Structure 1
């Protein structure tokens, strides 16, 4: 019974996520042209890139909150956003195929460089530190091994070569030092190292979740640690922030945690609420993440990465943060 309740709660959560993203489509249609695009220079701004959840014509749009406290909202509607190096990413409703979604690769002024169709509902987005590599995760339904429930797909675009990894599920897996192959493997929450080749992600199989280290050139991943979801690599490459499953209660399931990659030591952060997000690093000392207030609104919070202090609001009416520096 407990297992059934957990499964039902997870399905309900995913359905709510689907509904929230479906709202993005409606909002995009209602607000198209309703407000002028703000002028942004992502490569010369210090602050946070966000998805706005403030009521009004800017709801669901990409925005920038500078360190000076000024907020600039663009006309670009997105479900998830991120930016680093020379490129950004916006997972958004497709204009060419209504009812579907696409990856939009952004330039330094939030202009769209190119688009790529998605085969599911947006969940996570990342770019590598240089901006060369773009990654996404989507929810999909209908996998036979999963009884028709939601699964995930994660893909990668090399913006320089135009090469696309449509799904990480084609990669070779080494689990606990041994080759591993199973139909139920899922991936989500990609985060890149500085070399534009290696990455970390979550891999799920046989009811367990693993932190994996991946190599794009060799199309391979290997497990490193258990119970890691939606990792995010610090800019110095030494630590991963992630959500760790600490309970079977859907209302208190995850705890933000930082893993030292040299020692594999875990540090629970001072944020004790249930945070279901792929956190980002504002700097090497601070982790930022979105926390919903209700079905429509969220705030971005910040907490020290060493387990000290307490959470504070970084940006009101915002989610999907990325550091601009």
Structure 2
């Protein structure tokens, strides 16, 4: 990362924060009239919310449709909160996007934030109070390590606090402040305490699983070669994509030592287990836990994004669910 890019990044972050503050829309009363509304049952346990042909949809584990929702490229839900990340129409659509958040089944968005980049990842904390997104800068791709640029942000629905970009947090690797300037962050996943989170950091052609602290605004390296992490409901395991020697990504699950760090109670997580899952195909996705035993993810089939599920313990085999991407379970 050049000094000019660093300065530009700070300026863009500042502009976005100022713009976001002014751009947050009114609460449900004003938003309820939005035509691109919510026709989902986010309180229906056991169902999957996902994106198909740029529309949020919902289905049962057996594939029966439940409802549909707004236009999005990436979406996620928890506790009846839905985050929708979509490109904005117009000449700058490749660089301009919106983060829209629906709560409590409202037909229109409660919050709308502008972001600079193309939709890449989205998540909601288990409580439904925190939302996060990752966007690509134009033309970028995860496929070439060190040759892309991403921005990951976090927003607190309780008080409207925007944490800005993760580039504003302090990263630590091997106990030392990491000072390289080419860092990128993506794929945030939250713990149940609404303080601890995990994300990927890339720099100098390497990737790390980072444990974040929203209060201290720090990021601490946990393990190398971990991308797009997803914390299990029990807070003890991380599902992720791991780059193999042939350059592909394969889904794995690692166990965090005792689960204490995953729950935010302090202490360094010692990795005790790393299991390759039964899905052997190349998977470029952030997996989602449907429950403590099952993961959902998307990969292309004949050029079409397709949802699959697979056991989280390495047993069984992948099961095809439906055409689509960006799956998360409805948790009420």
TM-score after normalising by structure 1: 0.80
- Find the counterpart in structure 1 of residue 74 from structure 2: 80
Distance 2:215 2:227 in 1: 24
- Find the counterpart in structure 1 of residue 231 from structure 2: 233
- Once the two structures are superposed, residues 184-217 of structure 1 have per-residue CA deviations (whole angstroms, 9 ceiling, x without a partner) of 0110100000011110000111111000100011
Distance 1:195 1:211 in 2: 19
- Once the two structures are superposed, residues 15-54 of structure 1 have per-residue CA deviations (whole angstroms, 9 ceiling, x without a partner) of xxxxxxxxxxxxxxxxxxxx997732202343100112xx
- Find the counterpart in structure 2 of residue 124 from structure 1: 121
Alignment of 1:236-275 (within 5 A): 236-249=234-247, 253-262=248-257, 263-264=270-271, 265-275=273-283
- Find the counterpart in structure 1 of residue 211 from structure 2: 213
1:149–1:307 CA distance, 2 compared to 1 (3 A): closer
Alignment of 1:159-174 (within 5 A): 159-174=157-172
2:36–2:71 Cα contact (<8 Å) kept: no
1:137–1:152 Cα contact (<8 Å) kept: yes
- Find the counterpart in structure 2 of residue 62 from structure 1: 56
1:182–1:270 CA distance, 2 compared to 1 (3 A): same
1:94–1:110 CA distance, 2 compared to 1 (3 A): farther
Unaligned 5+ segments in structure 2 are 1-34, 258-269
Distance 2:245 2:156 in 1: 37
Give the alignment's Cα RMSD to 1 decimal.
2.4
1:83–1:277 CA distance, 2 compared to 1 (3 A): same
The Cα shift of 1:86 comes to 3.8
2:41–2:67 Cα contact (<8 Å) kept: no
1:280–1:289 Cα contact (<8 Å) kept: yes
2:45–2:329 Cα contact (<8 Å) kept: no
Alignment equivalent of 1:136, drawn from 129, 133, 139: 133
- Find the counterpart in structure 1 of residue 291 from structure 2: 283
Alignment of 1:182-201 (within 5 A): 182-201=180-199
1:286–1:304 Cα contact (<8 Å) kept: yes
Secondary structure of 2:298's counterpart equals: strand
Q: Greater CA deviation, 180-189 or 148-157?
A: 148-157
Secondary structure of 2:234's counterpart equals: coil
Q: Greater CA deviation, 268-277 or 89-98?
A: 89-98
Unaligned 5+ segments in structure 1 are 1-34, 53-58
Secondary structure of 1:169's counterpart equals: helix
Distance 1:258 1:37 in 2: 36
**1:308 corresponds to 2:320:** no
Secondary structure of 1:316's counterpart equals: strand
1:42–1:110 Cα contact (<8 Å) kept: no
The Cα shift of 1:109 comes to 2.6
The Cα shift of 1:288 comes to 0.7
